[in-house]
Structure 1
């Protein structure tokens, strides 16, 4: 009997992760079929897209509530298809709020359900572990401290490493990147990453610009690189420059190229999220900041378990880089934190060394290890 795998991947990151997994599984099962909710990268690997993964891109509680009926309808329709078609297994890639319900229903039908990318139960909403134990046949974790949590709850689990650690070089070539970007080799360079979403850029653009002004006052030769992912986010930042009469700031806007901007920089000012992990894997010292709605921040802070929000600090289990959040994210404090890195090459070198250790711990050939963890659940069909 042919192996057929139903999958759901949420957003762009899930699409990329799932595409690598499909390729790795096909090395063992060349004629395997994959279908469900996915994106263009999965489709390029032969995945049958029944709904695009961008439908699962929900930003915050309000958006989730507004779209609940739509998403619930898609989920129930897909479950009906799974019940009818009886695939070999179901793999949910990230999108836990969407996938865990589906995984539980699939498992109740006697089919294995694998979840790829552990929800951050170690950061908040730890009560989900009971639901996960009921829903998931196997959990695949990106971070080395996560398996112990699932083992204590009796959930079969595998640590597979982080895919970015496989992609990023252990020794980024800053000189080559600066030359390619036309940035002077000896210039002081700060990368400003205010986020990938429009709401994030709106919340942080004015603060980042004011911070850049203070840094320029202390170092007139400084250069700022600002990579922005979309036309809309670039426009928001450009409007903030005009509003703050900051045409004189030495700002280089880049369309995308966030990795190049961070590689070329001496220090990165970054909104908390995956970009902070990317900065760590690029061995760049950074200052992590974030600002969201007052009530949403209070709720998330009340539910949080750890003293950090930035992945570099969480993974290192210590404060390697400063975190200035919400009311603490003032231009004065951010500028001082960035300037502290620029003034202290020994501290920068220590952080870079610690990030290299982190990189090695996360580099596990993620797609291969994930595929190997999944293969036993497909064995009966292949026999």
Structure 2
């Protein structure tokens, strides 16, 4: 790579999971035209690769969530970070951009910044929700922060950390008025069918802990409406295979679902309501203006630690942005099939509730709508130019 450094600039990025791959791809769509000859590499997924990004390690290696789950994979993840660090210190990229994955990226960014390499971080860790002390580590690690929520600007201004609000890329990707009829036609569903989309997560650890309860919930709802159509989009082939394994293990293979490869946005657009794991997917559902129930389960030991670390009563992004429970949340033991089925039935059948949610989510969409790709790319170019 030292020879490549002479002939063209290098931009390094690390995204750790499917949502990060999507967010980074939007940034690259604005950055690649400004740096057409740049070598862009690090760790990323298929959407980043569409913009000529080269992933030196499989992104899935970083897609682990939960304190103790990470510990189980610590040696491998630490080894990947060390190898990438050594490579970047030799080639000295114009800028390093960590995309989410703060536990991996911030430590990497600290060492790169100390070596004189400009560092950026795209998506603030949830310091407004828990572990607020990380702002000190962020200040040590990051030359410039790219923010996706407007309320974050004041936090970083007070901390003296250069930051740019670029809007949320999903707000541009998802139309203000989703085409439900077209989504249902694409999936072969009847226009007037009652449709539930079930999204247990894109990480393998999320599938492990959420799948059984989520499908049990769907089974209970089928007793109330035998004609209910159930869609289950999977992030990839590995997730699909693991989902099938989990369903067979739980003896739930008799629950009729349309298991889909990708097409999560189509599945959300087609839905009347969604059962979704907490995370970026819950924001996607809100931007599609869909009623939802947010639920999440994790390893018992991780839950025992994390349940005492939150600053606010919400974990779902739509509720955090609204600063109230606009949609129900069920976490760990509270995420029983019975409780989730009751809540989802209301989301499926209460027309006045559905109208109120559509209005709230439309306002939320407008607040996040910016030319994210261009704003983020411009901020990156400013950092490179000021190097």
Q: Could you tell me the TM-score, scaled by structure 2's length?
A: 0.89
Residue 38 of structure 1, CA deviation: 3.3
Residue 370 of structure 1, CA deviation: 0.7
The CA deviation string for residues 53-87 of structure 1, in whole angstroms up to 9 with x for no partner, is: 33323343334324333333333333333333333
Aligned residue number for residue 75 of structure 2: 69
The CA deviation string for residues 15-55 of structure 1, in whole angstroms up to 9 with x for no partner, is: 33333323322323333332333344434433344334333
Residue 280 of structure 1, CA deviation: 0.7
1:101-116 equivalences in 2 (<5 Å): 101-116=107-122
Whether the 8 Å contact between 2:10 and 2:38 is mirrored in structure 1 is yes
Find out whether 1:263 has 2:256 as its counterpart: no
Find out whether 1:369 has 2:378 as its counterpart: no
Residue 101 of structure 1, CA deviation: 1.6
Secondary structure (helix, strand or coil) at the match of 1:225 reads: strand
Aligned residue number for residue 232 of structure 1: 241
Whether the 8 Å contact between 1:196 and 1:233 is mirrored in structure 2 is no
Find out whether 1:222 has 2:228 as its counterpart: yes
Unmatched tracts of structure 1, length 5 or more: none
Aligned residue number for residue 329 of structure 1: 335
Aligned residue number for residue 13 of structure 2: 7
Secondary structure (helix, strand or coil) at the match of 2:376 reads: helix
Relative to structure 2, which stretch is displaced further, 225-234 or 120-129? 225-234
Aligned residue number for residue 182 of structure 2: 176
Secondary structure (helix, strand or coil) at the match of 1:28 reads: coil
Q: Could you tell me the TM-score, scaled by structure 1's length?
A: 0.90
Aligned residue number for residue 201 of structure 1: 207
Counterpart CA distance in 1 for 2:216 and 2:87 is 53
Aligned residue number for residue 320 of structure 1: 326
Counterpart CA distance in 1 for 2:226 and 2:79 is 56
Secondary structure (helix, strand or coil) at the match of 1:283 reads: coil
Find out whether 1:251 has 2:260 as its counterpart: no
Counterpart CA distance in 2 for 1:261 and 1:361 is 24
One of 67, 81, 87 as aligned partner of 1:81: 87
Aligned residue number for residue 289 of structure 1: 295
Aligned residue number for residue 3 of structure 2: none
Residue 202 of structure 1, CA deviation: 4.0
Whether the 8 Å contact between 2:68 and 2:302 is mirrored in structure 1 is no
One of 316, 341, 345 as aligned partner of 2:347: 341
Counterpart CA distance in 2 for 1:276 and 1:224 is 18
Residue 250 of structure 1, CA deviation: 4.8
Whether the 8 Å contact between 2:167 and 2:370 is mirrored in structure 1 is yes
One of 35, 40, 46 as aligned partner of 1:34: 40
Aligned residue number for residue 366 of structure 2: 360
Larger Rg: 1
One of 304, 308, 311 as aligned partner of 2:310: 304
Counterpart CA distance in 2 for 1:76 and 1:206 is 37
Relative to structure 2, which stretch is displaced further, 78-87 or 99-108? 78-87
Sort the Cα spacing of 1:85 and 1:300 in 2 relative to 1 into closer, same or farther, 3 A: same
Relative to structure 2, which stretch is displaced further, 190-199 or 328-337? 190-199
Residue 262 of structure 1, CA deviation: 1.9
The CA deviation string for residues 248-271 of structure 1, in whole angstroms up to 9 with x for no partner, is: x55333333322222122111122
Aligned residues: 378
Relative to structure 2, which stretch is displaced further, 50-59 or 141-150? 50-59
Residue 216 of structure 1, CA deviation: 3.0
Sort the Cα spacing of 1:197 and 1:30 in 2 relative to 1 into closer, same or farther, 3 A: closer
